[in-house]
Structure 1
Amino acid sequence: MRHGSADFRRTNLALFAAGFCNFSLMYCVQPLMPTFSTTFGVHPAEASLSLSLTTGVLAFAMLACGALSDARGRKQVMKVSLLLSSLLTLVTALTPNWHGLLLLRALMGLSLSGVPAVAMAYVSEEMHVDSVGLAMGLFIGGSAVGGMGGRLLTGVFTDVLGWRAAIACIGAIGLVAALVFWRTLPESRHFQARRLRAGALARTLGELLRERGLRWLFIEGFLLMGTFVTLYNYIGYRLLAPPYSLSVSAEGAIFAVYLVGIFSSTWMGHVANRMGRRKCFWSAFVLLLVGMALMLLQPLALVVLGLAVVTFGFFAGHSMAASWVGRRAPHSKAQASSLYLFAYYMGSSLAGVAGGLFWSRDGWLGVTLFTALLTVVGLFGALRLIAIPPLATSRNTPIHGGAAQ
């Protein structure tokens, strides 16, 4: 499929809906962390488990989901995943205690795992090489809208209806998005089923990990997501406290800066296809550092501007890294995507919880120093990737295009 065709438009509508559903359900709890601390009497680091458990289980489950989709088909795995995730979110709204909520959020990690890596594999298989970057950017743009919508709507609904009703509303919206995906995504045309074998899967993962460029891209995913989620986890605690003292809905409205991510993921994905990822990727980490510096300042307008710059940098970096993995992987693209997203969501889980310890010790300054360290390591990795030569071009494996790697 190429940009401009009817199938391209249908596919991107479906993947946009999948990204929206997946990420609104995943991140709807993030603005509620201060509310969880108050309602259940838990520490900020413990409240962050409502998200970190989901992403931690998701990270491990995706390693199996990529292989499952190789055997069962891409669309089948994704549509079951979206439906189950929406239903689990509705059940979460009814849970009576903190440990029950954490259990359901861990199960959410299992159900959500059927979309991210499989969608990346679908794009790599079904899109023409010239349209992969744009298609991946549009999928990540849908993820940005879902992440923003889940956070923003949860904040608004919480102030009006309470946090349980807010989560139920997000679950209902997720069901609608899942149905849109179900009806519009074309069936795979270039998918070739492979038998599910644990030994072969282990060998495949080992081969992918031995590829130097892919190893660095996996590390970059960990650092990008770890930085981004940590900043978003604890900015709510800062904004709800003096001198800002925002309401939950006003704090949720801050997440409208996710609109910047929709633009940056699509635009940078397209730019990177033309200029080459090597020339662009490092700039994402510089933007993260600039945004963090702005967020250290006191005026609310500068804090929001800094958050917007961080969001731009993160989605630009993630869009480039995600499509780079699919193009650099010599084979087994679903497993390569799964490994990238494993590292990506482990960054969310581990750094997200660790950030709570820095928040408790040194407040926002501690969170900034921690995430700045992650970002500097990521910048070093981006510069290392420039020195790693591209894979040889092959007519039979068009994902190996030179500059685009």
Structure 2
Amino acid sequence: MPVTRLMPSSEGDDLIALTREICAKELRPRVDDAERAAAEGESFPTEVFRTLGQAGLLSLPHPEEHGGGGQPYEVYLQVVEEIASAWMSVAVGVSVHSLTAYPVTAFGTPEQQAALLPGMLSGDTLGAYALSEPLAGSDVGSMTTRATREGDGTAYAIKGRKAWISHAGHADYYTTFARTSDDGGRGISCFIVPAGSDAMTFGTPEKKMGLHCDTVREVIFEGVPVDEANRIGDEGQGMAIALSALDAGRLGIAAGATGLAQSALDVAAAYAQEREQFGRAIASNQGLAFLIADMEAAVSGARAAYLYAARLKDAGRPFSKEAAVAKLLATDAAMKVTTDAVQVLGGAGYTQDFPVERMFREAKVTQIFEGTNQIQRLVISRHVLR
């Protein structure tokens, strides 16, 4: 069910309309078959990302002068929500790709932006965000992947392992965080590492509960060379870059979780009006109608939270706390709404004949990645009690 948007421009309206058309023609007809196929063996929707890239939907919040869409974050996030309502794996991929370009947009020199962003934002390439490690998830400062200067000091060699990396093995570049000194979190730096090195290998794809078309696996750096020109920011600035990027990335996940919840609500509401028991539609039972109302309230609240944070970001105001609030509320809402959608459909909801079974499995991980919801509570409480 299309949701009425409050867009800041007619161009924003056009982008939402374009996104809905692509979702209807290219995403919804194939999502269930593609997710089932990917669960049985690796399958990555390369052609779908190519379609979104050609439509300009992979580069919306980045500057026009380097090939981006120049759109407010508020517009970009509503596009992510629309995509998530059709295919959550793809929406996560769109958010991840935008996250990979963010360090260059926000922290790169003009020379780096001119050299790197046109390719990143062309729609022909896809990025991966290599931050987490097997023993360094929420505790980013404990990472062990290391970048060591070589030769005349104008290049680095990166050695280490990154874990839980979306697009691993399919990405054209890896926005990578590696240690350049032993000074804890202050010893981390950010690099853009092109794909294709023989010294970069990959683990076996993770067998996940959901989001099967979001290929996730380890990236293994065995002395991967990277030029100094591809280091973003100063040595030791990587932690600040990563945390800043995650604020933006959390809003992408919040928008995606909202779209997933909206889609589950739509299925549940339609089913409740069609399914009859005791001679009438089950929607006429107040207990179930109130459950639908609570689902709507959760989705609307999630949407309001992420849009508020986006408007702060667009206005150049601090939004870290609000991003954490939005991520927390939206992902908890997605888990609640998809759970309730299964309940509304009863036994049918527990089968793969209806998409709410898939949506329920997809919702869980939104409470985990881009910072667990326990970490979001830590971020929020620190802001409030500061």
Same fold per superposition (TM over 0.5):
no
What is the TM-score of this pair, normalised by structure 1? 0.33
What is the TM-score of this pair, normalised by structure 2? 0.34
Greater share of strand:
2
Greater share of helix:
1
